[in-house]
A and B are shown apart, each in its own frame.
Chain A
Amino acid sequence: MMNNPSELLYTRSHEWVRFLTETTAQVGLTDYAQHSLGDLVFVNLPQEGDEVTQGESFADVESVKAVSDVYSPVTGTVKAINEVLLDAPETINKDPYGAWLVEVENITDREELLSADDYAVHCEKED
């Protein structure tokens, strides 16, 4: 049912990571995450230059019902934020794997990440 691209890596807390180089990556929310959260209406992103730490919250997203933290899969520096999301948070619902939240550079650490297949198994267990 969920279509999780095989070239991405995933966290158990439902973020995806797209490595652009060894030390640079985009981070977003998975299809499973956007579906469980429901219609998103607000995204609070860090600023360029902020440090993010793997396993720690770096952003929050709000649906009509509730606010949820987004956890960083990697440790590094925010190189860019996806400004489109500030005015159009629903982009995450429509295109979760296109709607990256931040691009992180100078990555020095990462949490244990799952392949698309392993992530699909993890999601089934959560249901």
Chain B
Amino acid sequence: MELKTPLYDCHAAAGGKMVPFAGYLLPVQYETGVIAEHMAVRTKAGLFDVSHMGEVVYTGPDALANLNRLLTNDFTGMYDGQVRYSPMCYEDGGVVDDLIVYKYHDEKYMVVVNAANRHKDVAWMREHLVGNVAFEDTSDSVAQIALQGPLSKEILLRVTEESRIPQNYYSFVPKAAIGGISCILSRTGYTGEAGYELYCSNEDAPKLWDLLLKTGNDLGLIPCGLGARDTLRLEAAMPLYGHEMDETIDPLETGLGFAVKLAKEDFIGKQGILAKGPLKRKRVGLKVTGRGIIREHETVFAQGREIGFTTSGTHCPFLGYAAAMAILETDFTEPGTSVEVEVRGRRIAAEVVKLPFYKNPQASK
């Protein structure tokens, strides 16, 4: 049986079409539909319930040592209030999950993980605890709302002071207040637009949701569902666990080399990744040049043979064409390479293109 997030009643009242996802009932879309929701985020602003995400906290003198050993990125030298992305690997280099790390101070870090992986992650993290550190899974008491889109900051400025809004991309304010409601305010997101993620208590979540929606209404802010979240992240070529990476696809193959610090002394997965040698396959973007839509798990062909498989694919509402991501043999990853993808018994022509498909330079400014 699926759990309800603290915002379930808000979604039901707003006509959200509820579907089971990662153990929760969440809106896949509202009456407006996926395309309108997608466009709202690209041009104005959208509000997402992402309360299903998991949050764990490391505290103690060895918190940093734990993260540096457990995760592929390097968390040394972060400032208080900084956020950093990382994969978390198995010994063989396969991916347990990808996550983001929030540094409160030298002895306290919060880690946000994918909902579908939470229990697996928590078990893996506990199993690998070392030294003087306390570990807590706070997921069940934390709600999360994402406010995304170019008008996000304008909306926040109506309900909080500028000094309590994080300025830098990938930074956060631990004790923010939105219309008097305490929350963690983070300049992060999963849409490729400027935006924020707000963490608050379950009790406060409906109030915060309603306040933001009301505040941004005249600017075009609308609630958005999982459907738009997926098309937005795909257009921005942000990888999703279980698609672009998993136990069998390592982070270098996914193109996450920027977050895999092989120069770091040691971390779980380093030897596994090094043992593989030069990359044999990697993630690419595919733009459909024929007719049709490519989805995940389709076979990709070139020169009369199989060269890989797709990991995600859809129609990109803002760009106006169909696109997919795929893991292909490295010989076929140059932009401009022509390939064919077999979809429901017929071949659709596509071209390898540079990722991301969509980039708004303002998003990370």
With contacts A64-B227, A64-B317, A65-B227 known, is A39 near B293, CB below 8 A? no
Are the CB atoms of B293 and A65 closer together than 8 Å?
no
With contacts A38-B29, A42-B322 known, is A67 near B293, CB below 8 A? yes
CA distance A67 to B38 in the complex (A): 19
A44 at the interface (CB under 8 A from B): yes
User: What are 26 A-B pairs at a CB distance below 8 A?
Assistant: A38-B33, A38-B34, A39-B33, A39-B36, A41-B35, A41-B315, A42-B292, A42-B293, A42-B315, A44-B291, A44-B292, A62-B292, A62-B293, A62-B315, A64-B35, A64-B38, A64-B231, A64-B315, A64-B317, A65-B28, A65-B34, A65-B314, A66-B295, A67-B293, A67-B295, A86-B291
A112 at the interface (CB under 8 A from B): no
B344 at the interface (CB under 8 A from A): yes
| A contact set with B: CB distance below 8 Å | 38-39, 41-42, 44, 60, 62-67, 86
A38, A41, A44, A60, most chain B CB atoms within 10 A? A41
Are the CB atoms of B315 and A60 closer together than 8 Å?
no
Are the CB atoms of B227 and A38 closer together than 8 Å?
yes
Are the CB atoms of B33 and A41 closer together than 8 Å?
no
Closest 8 CB pairs of A and B: A41-B315, A39-B35, A64-B34, A62-B293, A39-B33, A42-B293, A39-B34, A64-B315
CA distance A42 to B294 in the complex (A): 11
Write out the residue numbers on chain B whose beta carbons fall within 8 Å of the beta carbon of A44.
291-292
Write out the residue numbers on chain A whose beta carbons fall within 8 Å of the beta carbon of B33.
38-39
CA distance A60 to B35 in the complex (A): 20
With contacts A38-B227, A41-B293, A67-B293 known, is A60 near B344, CB below 8 A? yes
CA distance A66 to B231 in the complex (A): 12
With contacts A38-B29, A39-B34, A41-B293 known, is A64 near B344, CB below 8 A? no
Which B1-52 residues have a C-beta within 8 angstroms of A? 28-29, 33-36, 38
Write out the residue numbers on chain B whose beta carbons fall within 8 Å of the beta carbon of A65.
28, 34, 227, 314
Which B305-335 residues have a C-beta within 8 angstroms of A? 314-315, 317, 322
Find the A residue at minimum CB distance from B35.
Answer: A39
Beyond A39-B35, A41-B322, 14 extra complex contacts between A and B, CB < 8 Å:
A38-B33, A38-B34, A38-B227, A39-B36, A41-B293, A41-B315, A42-B293, A42-B315, A64-B34, A64-B38, A64-B227, A66-B295, A67-B293, A67-B295
A62, A64, A67, most chain B CB atoms within 10 A? A64
Write out the residue numbers on chain B whose beta carbons fall within 8 Å of the beta carbon of A63.
34
